[in-house]
Amino acid sequence: MRPRTPTRTRAVAPKPNDDPETATGWEHITPEFLWNTELARRVRYLDEFERAEVRDALEVAFNAHDGQARKSGEPYITHPVAVAAILAEMELDHESLVAGLLHDTVEDTDAVTFESLEKRYGTAVRRIVEGETKVSKVSSSLSKESQQINGTSAEDVKSEDLAQMFLAMTEEVRIIIVKLADRLHNMRTLEGLKPEKRVKIANETLLVFAPLAKLLGMYKVKNELEDLSFRYANPDAYAEMSRRCDELSKQQESVIQRAAVTLQETMQGDDFLRGNTVGVTIQAKAKELYGLHRKLSAGGRRSGSALNGDSKNIDDIFEVAQLRVILHDTGAMAGMTGEARRLQASRVCYHVLGIVHAMWPPVPGNMKDYIATPKLNGYKALHTVILPISPDDANPTGGIEETPVFPMEIMIRTEAMHILAENGIAADAEIRQQWRAGARRTSRALRARRRAELRYAASQEGRDVDLKALEREEALDMAAAAADKGTEENVDASLRQVAWLKNIQSWQKEFIDVLSAREFVDTITSDLLGRRVFVFTPKGQVTNLPHGATVVDYAFYTGETGMLMEYAKVNGVQVEFDHVLTNAEVVEIFNEGKELPAHVMLRRLRKLRLNASTRSARAKIQKQLARLGSGDIKELRESLQVEALTLCGESIPDNLGPGPRTVTYCAYMFELVAADRTGLLATVSAAITKSGANIDSYTGVKVADDCFKMSFAIHFDDNELRNGASLKSLDENLSRLFTEVTSFKGVASGSLYCDVDAAVRAAGQE
């Protein structure tokens, strides 16, 4: 049942040589050999002139890497050829293949420059190869130990490189596709490295590259990267999980195969499906080993490596079986418009879902409709979990067969949905057309320029030029131009299709003065690479948010209205700002009808920041706080002054100065968002008491699976304040308290603000 990652042999192997003194075993590796054995059959989908460009790039790469070898001893050229072959299997445009062949030539050789690449193959190839160089820097910095590099920590260097990589992706998404092919081949050939190097590369792959493949919808690449990385990073856990899956496979195989046959026969006899599809494929498979491991691991719900978390009992795993139903409906939709095709594809999938639920009892709460609400990466399918039991399972004595009842996931998708699920953005028709049309235009323009130069050389310099060959090339280009007529260049197609790329661009512009490189990278990895939740607007529009997002995060994701947010309703009921959203909830934000005074806006923003879960929303709020002139201690002091003036019944100036004010009683709310750690409550309480404050009340609310919000109502009521002392000493006490508590292990964020209502009540002014 569980398909194992295939053992991949070398594409080329050394051969014996008659002369032992000159033999290397690799003399047969020539451009012609590599083209005929590795690339020619894979690039048949390209036109003749596109194949000619790839063949030319192979010659350039071969000469540039001549004499270089991999750690395994193979000629280095075998690696870029393998990368190009992976890209060709995705049927990408010829520029992507050229970039795959040349991706290491500038960084690793002196024979090629970015300028020469641009002159020969165009700006897109140069942009991809330049982006590859930046991504390679990320790989290098990720592998460094935490140490000081020219006065800067290795963590900061890594963050700078990652930030540059993410930004480069927004300009040319093919950069990361080529890099994923590069990383995939490196993972397939990792055996030639030392064990410690293998572990570093595997963890790096789990941290950055597998999540990026998922974001691009390239699940085939993502699953293989995770499986290989898991195997090298934690071989013991990999072996144990493999053992458990093999054990379950033996127990469940007969039930799964019977279910697959029964479903196939039922669907073949269905009149609706016979009229609206041309065939059905059912694949029995098991869930991915790394995905199962993450569910067992303490940190498994987060993106990235969770290989060292405390695990539950592996024998508690039972739900590993999957049936994948692929509906071949393309031939049955000839003549339909694009919209009609989409509606018909949905109708067919929902019909099959009804068949499945009529055959077997579904497990409540496990049906996921990714057709009505696609994933952020465009993935579409219907998922449901059923119990594959039927009357045939009963034995003659009235009992049930020895095989225990187990849950089985069924995924239903059309053929087009399946292709998109396997290769993601690399299979998106509109984006692929954009890339290929642009690549063809560039190549034709470059070839026309070269022909003009050669003809000039022939007529003016008397150079011997094959004019017949130029005419044949020109005829090919004219035919290609005629075939491409009507296609328009759309440089924004990939950004429009991949919404998260636009998020990265807008965040970089918006947060450039607010976030450091490390904070910017943390925002991307936490808000984009993690789990997701979808909610609806009152008008039925879908918003995709990071898992754990609150209504405050929603307000800032859907526009700039979050700044004036007064309250929110979820499913028609007013909720608190810290309400954590779950799938399919309907969210509505209500804003203030008028502009708020500066001191009220400061207080409102501080409260919003405390209740924001995502880093991007908190960064937007922090930017507004900075714009209003607030800072850490300065913000705290001015806020205290505002509240003191309010208590005294005096007017508040628009621009507060740092001058001293006096009060007789100060009440505050001290709120923290922290991990659920034993002893943290006692530690924080002791620190508050030590600062001279009294704790009036405490509440703790769970805001995520392993995260709590702790709220302390505290007050200062001492002789110094009653005697009219300046707030300066109080500032210092609060500053020390805030700094101390927010540095405690497990504390993610904190906020400290005046509790005006409590202070007023204490002063007897209500």
- Helices then strands (H, E): number in the chain? 30, 16
Catalytic residue among 32, 107, 430, 453: 107
Phi, psi (degrees; rounded to nearest 5) at 764: 70, 30
Q: Identity (one letter) of the amino acid at 681?
A: L
User: Do 79 and 71 form a contact (C-beta atoms < 8 A)?
Assistant: no
CB neighbour class for 719 (10 Å; exposed up to 12, middle 13-18, buried from 19)? exposed
According to DSSP, the β-strands at 148-149 and 279-286 are: unpaired
Catalytic residue among 47, 56, 108, 240: 108
Cα–Cα distance for residue pair 330/326, rounded to 1 Å: 12
Strand partners, 445: none
Cα–Cα distance for residue pair 353/468, rounded to 1 Å: 61
Phi, psi (degrees; rounded to nearest 5) at 754: -70, 140
* H or E segment and range at residue 190: none
Question: Does the CA dihedral 263-269-271-277 come out positive or negative?
Answer: positive
Cα–Cα distance for residue pair 620/507, rounded to 1 Å: 9
108 catalytic, yes or no?
Answer: yes
Cα–Cα distance for residue pair 84/174, rounded to 1 Å: 13
Q: How many degrees, rounded to 5, is the angle at CA 145 between CA 142 and CA 146?
A: 100
* H or E segment and range at residue 133: helix 123-142
Residue 556 tokens read as 């800032």
Helix residue ranges per DSSP H, 461-531: 467-484, 493-497, 499-511, 517-527
Cα–Cα distance for residue pair 104/76, rounded to 1 Å: 10
CB neighbour class for 319 (10 Å; exposed up to 12, middle 13-18, buried from 19)? middle
Residue 241 tokens read as 């999980």
User: Do 11 and 81 form a contact (C-beta atoms < 8 A)?
Assistant: yes
107 catalytic, yes or no?
Answer: yes
3-state secondary structure of 699: strand
Which residues are tagged catalytic? 107-108
